[in-house]
Amino acid sequence: MIKLISWNINSVRLRAPLVLKVIEAHDPDVICLQETKTPDEHFPFDVFREAGYEHIHIQGMKGYNGQAIISKLPFDETFIHHRVGREDCRHIGVRIGDIDLHNLYIPAGGDEPDVEVNDKFAHKLDFVDEMARWFADQYTSDQKVIAVGDFNIAPYEHDVWSHKQLLKVVSHTPPETERLAKMLASLDWCDVAREFVPMDEKLYTWWSYRNRDWKKSNRGRRLDHVWVTPPLKKSLNGYEVMLEARDWEKPSDHVPVIVTLK
């Protein structure tokens, strides 16, 4: 059994104690973090090594973006990829045995869903386009590959609190969801969450800090994803959104998603 957790931590130095709470509760084998927001020299290696995670692969920058994969399982190889001509710490990966694991932080895309006036939105669309091409070029659908992370796109009607109201809000607009669908098709990926939670059920992993009572308003979005290629689909054993983490002191606006594979 392998237990994998993906979490946009929104500053690993600030919230390393919260990662330890997740470790204590779930004892995962591998944790993928996004938005670590720290240069490599300031990453809290000792905190995680003392917790039993000796294998750590990171790429970070000051104040923005950044990723980490921390693991009890050794890495056979590590990867760092730069996307759409930028070195902005949004894609790292590792090989564990015969599985390639990719940790992604897709750009948020700014506020205006118009590439003519918003360079951030254009960057986001270009990033997803490139990922769709790259996966198809790099792999075939019969290889064992996992992609996790904050994709910053809620693709389906019940991945947002109001499909109608969010159709023109960045993260749920047709240009984004259509591109993510092409990325999903690139390796005939399985969207793990929707293997366990029916399409007609609401499912969220992010709630804005602007909502004073996130539970009461429950205006969430499913921005955090775990995908597996077809050979791993039959190994899927469980999926969980760790909702209680949103109530912790000084929480991330995202919560961990947990997947187990036989």
Mean pLDDT (whole number) for 12-29: 98
* Core vs surface per residue 56-94: b (16+ CB within 10 A) or e: bbbbbeeeebbbbbbbbbebeeebebebbeeebbbbbbb
Residue with tokens 């050794």, as numbered in its chain: 74
Residue with tokens 């240069």, as numbered in its chain: 39
* Residue 5, φ and ψ in degrees, nearest 5: -120, 135
**121-174 pLDDT, tens digit each:** 999 999 999 999 999 999 999 999 999 999 999 999 999 999 999 999 999 999
For residue 38, pLDDT over 90 is answered with: yes
For residue 19, pLDDT over 90 is answered with: yes
Q: What's residue 249's pLDDT?
A: 95
> How high does pLDDT run on average in the chain?
97
Among 3.30.70.1520, 3.60.10.10, 3.40.50.2300, 3.40.50.1360, name the CATH number for the domain at 2-261.
3.60.10.10
Q: What's residue 36's pLDDT?
A: 98
3-class SS of residue 132: helix
Residue with tokens 């692969």, as numbered in its chain: 57
Q: Distance (Å, rounded) from C-alpha 249 to C-alpha 56? A: 26
Domain boundaries, the chain: 2-261
Instruction: Determine the residue type at 111.
Output: D
Mean pLDDT (whole number) for 81-108: 98
For residue 211, pLDDT over 90 is answered with: no
Q: What's residue 212's pLDDT?
A: 81
